[in-house]
Amino acid sequence: MVVSTYDDIRHVRMISVDGVETDFQQVEFPQKTYTLGESFSTYVQSKNTLVLTDRLAHTVYMFDTVKGTSKAVTNGNIQEPRGACVGPGDTVMVCSNKMHSVVHLTVDGDFLCTYPVNMTFPCSICVSRDRTRLAVSNCVIGDKKLQLYKILPTLNN
């Protein structure tokens, strides 16, 4: 499993099913410490790509965990990125909190599309195991939502 941290210079940790914690040895993270809610992560195992969002820098980092390379992705559609998950075809989907949308990226950091969501400030996202549903939730006190979306088969290629 891969988990995000906060108040720690190691932004992401790997945890085995036995509870053993390890670091990504080939990854050079940004030299900052994130507080709670400032950064989230996901891991695209088939592409050896670790994804880290930086909410305040409006940036999504893509780390190749084998080669040790990284790419900082900034785009006008990425504003206060929050949660991220592995999307169809081993792509990456990221909540763009300030744009009230989901941004779809390749593991190389190329922009694919933006999907508006029917909520303000989306912050958490996941794709079902069979890759047919997308769940997005927001973080608005008094107006919390959980939306389910059907993923079209053309996105699963």
Domain ranges for the chain? 39-156
| Residue 92 contacts residue 86 (beta carbons within 8 Å) | yes
Residue 89: DSSP 8-state: G
Mean pLDDT by 10 residues, the chain (157 residues): 88 90 85 92 95 96 92 96 95 96 96 94 94 93 92 66
The token pair that represents 99 in the structure block: 């744009």
**Residue of 64, 12, 61, 65 lying closest to 34 (CA atoms):** 12
Give dist(CA 103, CA 37) in Å, integer.
18
Give dist(CA 107, CA 96) in Å, integer.
17
Q: Which pLDDT does position 1 carry in this prediction?
A: 86
CATH number of the domain located at residue range(s) 39-156 in this protein = 2.120.10.30
pTM for the model? 0.90
Burial classification of residue 115, based on how many CB atoms lie within 10 Å of its CB (0-12 exposed, 13-18 middle, 19 or more buried): middle
Give dist(CA 52, CA 31) in Å, integer.
13
